[in-house]
Amino acid sequence: MPKTFARHWPYPRLIAHRGAGKLAPENTLTAMRVGHAHGYRMVEFDVKLSADGVAFLLHDATLGRTTNGRGRADARGWRELSQIDAGGWHSAQYAGEPIPTLAAIARFARTHGTACNIEIKPTPGRERETGAAVALDAAWLWREAEVPPLLSSYSEEALAAAQDAAPGLPRALLLDTLPADWLQRLERLACVALDAHHKALTHALVGAAHDAGLRVLCFTPNDPERVAELGAWGVDGIITDAIDHIPADSLPPAPPLPGA
């Protein structure tokens, strides 16, 4: 599957980080709407599990930074989490914005023609459980969709569980720095793409990934000149906060892989 899927890459080149970068409260339905209003047709966001197994959007393992809640996010059931304010921390205009479920984001994305990069963000200790549950939910929520969501994670355990649970969904391995065996890790997990910090990439490395039949994504360049440079290198997906400074159509579609 990886080489076949990567050859027919269906995703936009520019991707809104956590929905709308920093313009709206991250990982909320409002952020997805703001990203869409800026012309972005692909969004990246983080998903973890509640205590009772509901897949919902949140970056951190704890609630304090981006909500008015406190403590471990996975210690709360969904009924309690759904009452938490996930917008007031950002600005007064977003006070009362709720934490969304993955199901709510799927409904929005499919209705508005928005592709999704779902980062599986397990609370420590729940890697395999989260990887499997998010993959199963995504497979159901995007059933018969023309463009499936791309699953990504720093956790190789979570990605392996996602592979077992929903092998038909494409996957990418997230890396801040690239170890010597990065290609072997991607191949072991049957990933379609490398998703690396943009500072870890070189033109040669992007070429090596393409030669191996893989696509390359990166995060989170916010300088238009750097984004243009990465585009010139052939990076296939660029996740950015600067959706108000980098037009969604400022790069051409990703080029075909060598030999495709």
List active site positions: 17, 59
> Which amino acid is located at 51 in the chain?
A
Q: What is the rounded end-to-end Cα distance, in angstroms, of the chain?
A: 15
**Distance of alpha carbon 115 from alpha carbon 15, whole angstroms:** 9
Burial 87-100 (b: 16+ CB within 10 A, else e): bbbbeeebeebbbb
* Number of Cβ within a 10 Å radius of residue 228: 15
Rounded distance, CA 23 to CA 42, Å? Answer: 16
Q: In DSSP terms, which residues pair with 55 in a beta bridge?
A: 49
CA gap 65, 81 in Å, rounded: 15
Query: Can you say how many angstroms the Cα of residue 244 is from the centroid of all Cα atoms in its chain?
Result: 19
